[in-house]
Amino acid sequence: MVTKLFWLALFAVFSVSVHAKETAEDNYKAYCTQCHGIEGNGKGINVRDMSVVPRDHTDAKSMSGRSDETLFKAIKEGGASISKSVLMPPWGATLSDEEIEDLVQYLRMMCKCKMS
């Protein structure tokens, strides 16, 4: 009985961990804040060593000028893919398309602007 309960508990834990995905906020904190800042204002800890100031994700006017597709491409393929800074790395090998789409929506929430 104990062995059966052990295996059921182990299966339950494994199932949850396999199906759990990081939230857009978690991914932003893990991959974006070093340059874009904890508040998304472009003032991350790496700024002092960068030749280009990272985008301020809280600036509604600036962010409204970028389509969701452009943001997706920049995140997935890097800044150079949209003729922006090569310092923006491509995250397509790290993040799934779904996670990148969630990040785009998180950016829209940060700047309080809607686009499609």
Rounded CA gap, 10 and 20, in Å?
Answer: 15
Give the Cα-Cα-Cα angle 86, 90, 93 (nearest 5 degrees): 155
Hey, where are the domains in the chain?
A: 21-111
High-pLDDT (> 70) share of the chain, %:
80
pTM: predicted TM-score of the whole model, two decimal places = 0.79
Mean per-residue pLDDT over the chain, rounded: 86
3-state helix/strand/coil string of 29-74? HHHCHHHHCCCCCCCCCCHHHCCCCCCCCCCHHHHHCCCHHHHHHH
Report the first-to-last Cα separation within the chain, whole angstroms: 54
Is the pLDDT at 13 greater than 70? The verdict is no
Q: Span 84-93, mean pLDDT?
A: 96
Mention the CATH class of domain 21-111. mainly alpha
Is the pLDDT at 34 greater than 90? The verdict is yes
Query: In which band, very low, low, confident or very high, does the pLDDT at 91 lie, cut at 50, 70 and 90?
Result: very high
